[in-house]
Amino acid sequence: DSEHIVSRGSLLRMNFLAAARAVGAKGFKAVWTEIQDPGVQCNQVLCKSTNSCISRVLRCDGMKNCGPVDVSDEENCDKASEVNVLMLVGVVLGISSVLAIVVCIWCQRKRSQKRKENSLSHHVHVYERGARFASMDSVDRSVSPVVGTRKAQHHLSHASLRTETVV
């Protein structure tokens, strides 16, 4: 049950009476809209039935500001574009978040790989020509003597090498 009242001047006085038995009830809703008199050139939103002019910000706000039967301010509202904008913002935020996570993981792996390379490059194995070294045979794990040559350097046992740290 709604009632539409238009004042005849620039003032409107309303009195509300609440009954004691109405406590806890649903209550009421009052909406008012400032309008320009009919006949004035309207640069905002023109209400068709009353020829009144209302503010542009009231257009497509979900309220019938032109009256209960006049929906001029709610016509041709593109609600789908509002949803599309929200969906676009959500998709952009989602993709940005995933991309940021991927970049963080990639940077962490690069940093970890660089640390491993740096820790290996600081140790230089030195041997003297003609020295004998023991090496582990990977098949039967027996110790066999190897004469130090440059080709054999990668197969030498860590225990028999002199290690220098390069800074």
For 49-96, the pLDDT digits (tens) are 888 899 999 998 888 898 888 898 998 887 665 667 788 899 999 999
Residue with tokens 């582990």: 136
9: its two tokens: 């001047």
Amino acid 57: pLDDT: 92
Q: What is the pTM of this model?
A: 0.42
Does the pLDDT at position 167 exceed 60?
no
- Cα distances from 3 to residues 45, 63, 104, 120, 164, in angstroms, run 22, 14, 60, 85, 95
- In the block, tokens 């016509």 appear at 75
How many helices (H) and strands (E) are present in the chain, helices listed first? 1, 7
Distance of CA 77 to the CA centre of its chain: 28
Contact 164, 144 (CB under 8 A): no
The predicted structure's pLDDT at residue 104:
95
The answer on pLDDT for 156 being more than 50 is no
Tell me, what's the pLDDT at 126? 56
The DSSP code for 41 is: P
